[in-house]
Chain A
Amino acid sequence: MNLQKEERILRSDPFPVRKLLDFSDLHLRVLAGEEGLNQTILLPELNRPALELSGFFEKWRPNRIQILGSGEMAYLLSKHEEPSVHEYVERIFASHPPCVVITNNFDPFPELLHLAETFHVALLQSELHTTQFTKRLWDHLEIELSPYVVKRGVMMDIFNVGVLITGPSSVGKSESALELMHKGHTFVADDLITIRGAQSSKVIATGHSPVPYHMEIRGIGIIDAARMYGPRAIRQYKQLDLIVSLEDWDADTDYERLGIDRPTTQILGIDIPCYTIPVKPGRNISTIVEVAVLDHKLRESGVFMAKEFDETLIKIMQKREGR
C-alpha cells in the first residue's frame, strides 16, 4: 500500500499585523490604532497611496499595506488641512487597509492618529527609508504568506547546496545527517520540513518543529544538534536545491548507472533535481550524498562527467575503427 500522499499544498496561517513587530529589522513601532494589530495581512503587496491622496481612487487597492513615504508625507503635511485632502485620507482609513506605515521616521499630524484610532487601523512608523523598508517587508511577507508543503526528511546545507534527504523510516536519514555534520556540513532540520515557494523560482526549506535542531538517533534517543555541534553546524533555513532519495536496496529496481540524464521532482511547481540512492549495509551514505552534491555542483557549472566520459570513449573508438 502506498501511503505517500499527493503533494498537499497548504495555505499559510493568518498573518496578523502584530507579527510585523516581531521582525526587528523593520524597526516598527505602533503610533495609533492598536486594535488594528489583529487585522490579517493577506497579500505581500504594498501600495504607496500617492494617487489616492490626490483624489484618484480608480485603482485603489485597500487590501494592501499602505506606505506613506517622504513624498506622501511632504504632500500631506502641506495639504492635509484642505477639505478634499482630508476626505481622501479619511477614505483610505475608512476602507480598512491592513495597516498604514510611515517611513523615514516622519512624525504624524494629529489627524492621522485620530483616523487610525477611529477606524481601528494600525498606524506604524519605521525609521527606514521607503525602498529599504518595502524590500525588507516584501522579503518577510513573501515567505510568510506563500503556500507551502510539508515533507518528511532531513534538510542539510552541504557545500552550500540545500539538500533534502528523503526515504522511508529507518533507512538511515538521521544517521546520515549526523555523519554529514561530523564532516562539517550544516544541519537545518530533521523529520518534518516546511518548504515554501519564494519569487516562484526557488523554494526555501525550514524545520516544522517548534523545538528546532533535534533529531532521534536509534539506540540513543533524542539529541539536540545545536548543543552537540554548536552554532556553526546549524542554520534556520536554506534554499532547496537538490533531493537525495534513499531507498532500501531492491534487486528488481533499475538504479541510475550512467548519470547522463538526471530526473527531477516537482515541488510547488519548481523542478528540483533528484538522485535516488539505494541503501544496503556497507554503503557509506553520507559520502554518497556528498558525491551527489558535488556532481550537482559540477552540472550547475556546465560539467557533465558521464557525458564527457562517453564523448571521449566514442572518439577513441572512432579512431580505432579508422586504423
Chain B
Amino acid sequence: MSEHSNIKEATFTILNELGLHARPAMLLVKSISRLDCTVLIEKEGFEADAKSIMGVLTLAAEKGSQIIVRADGPDAEKAIEAIHLLIHDKFGED
C-alpha cells in the first residue's frame, strides 16, 4: 500500500430525467479527463473507467440509480467534486 495513496469515494444518485445518456456522459468525461487521477464509476457491481465515454454509457445509469465514484491520485478530490457538481446540476438538463 503506497503511502501516497489518495483514494476518494462518493455515492451519487442520478437526478436528470434522461439519465446518464450521451451528452451528460460526455460532460462527465470531459470534466475529469485532464485531472491527474484514475476515476472509476461503479453501478450494480460493474465498474467503468470514467475517462471513457463508451464505458460510462455502458453503465446506462437511469434517473434514480446510484453510482459509486472512486478516484485515486493527486486530483482525486477535484474529480469527485467535478462529478458531484454535474450530477447535482442535472448536467444542465431538465
B60 interface hit (Cβ, 8 Å): yes
Contacts known (A257-B29, A258-B26, A306-B22); A321 close to B53, Cβ less than 8 A: no
A316–B60 CB distance below 8 A = yes
> Which interface class (under 10, 10 to 19, 20 to 34, 35 or more) fits A?
10 to 19
Cβ < 8 Å to B, chain A residues 282-323: 306, 309-310, 313-314, 316-318, 320-321
A317–B34 CB distance below 8 A = no
Query: Which residues does chain B contribute within 8 Å of A321, judged by CB atoms?
Result: 19, 62-65
Query: Which residues does chain A contribute within 8 Å of B53, judged by CB atoms?
Result: 257-258
A77 interface hit (Cβ, 8 Å): no
Contacts known (A257-B29, A257-B53); A317 close to B22, Cβ less than 8 A: no
Contacts known (A317-B60, A321-B62); A257 close to B26, Cβ less than 8 A: yes
B60–A260 CB distance below 8 A = no
What residue of chain B has the Cβ atom nearest to residue A251's Cβ?
Answer: B34
A318–B22 CB distance below 8 A = no
A252 interface hit (Cβ, 8 Å): yes
- Report B32 CB to chain A, min CB distance, Å: 13
What residue of chain A has the Cβ atom nearest to residue B20's Cβ?
Answer: A317
A12 CA / B26 CA spacing, docked (Å): 46
A317 CA / B64 CA spacing, docked (Å): 10
The residue in B18, B29, B30 that gathers the most chain A C-beta atoms within 10 A of its C-beta is B18
Q: Which of B22, B34, B57, B62 contacts A260 (CB 8 A)?
A: B22
A313–B63 CB distance below 8 A = no
B21 interface hit (Cβ, 8 Å): yes
Contacts known (A251-B34, A321-B64); A314 close to B18, Cβ less than 8 A: yes
What residue of chain B has the Cβ atom nearest to residue A306's Cβ?
Answer: B22
Contacts known (A314-B18, A317-B18, A317-B60); A260 close to B23, Cβ less than 8 A: yes
A318 CA / B64 CA spacing, docked (Å): 10
Cβ < 8 Å to A, chain B residues 15-54: 18-23, 26, 29-30, 34, 53
Query: Which residues does chain B contribute within 8 Å of A257, judged by CB atoms?
Result: 26, 29-30, 53
What residue of chain B has the Cβ atom nearest to residue A322's Cβ?
Answer: B62
B61 interface hit (Cβ, 8 Å): yes
Binding site for A on B (CB under 8 A): 18-23, 26, 29-30, 34, 53, 57, 60-65
Known contacts A252-B34, A317-B62, A317-B63; can you find 16 more A-B pairs with CB under 8 A? A257-B30, A258-B23, A260-B22, A260-B23, A306-B22, A310-B21, A310-B22, A313-B60, A314-B19, A314-B21, A317-B21, A320-B60, A320-B65, A321-B62, A321-B63, A321-B65
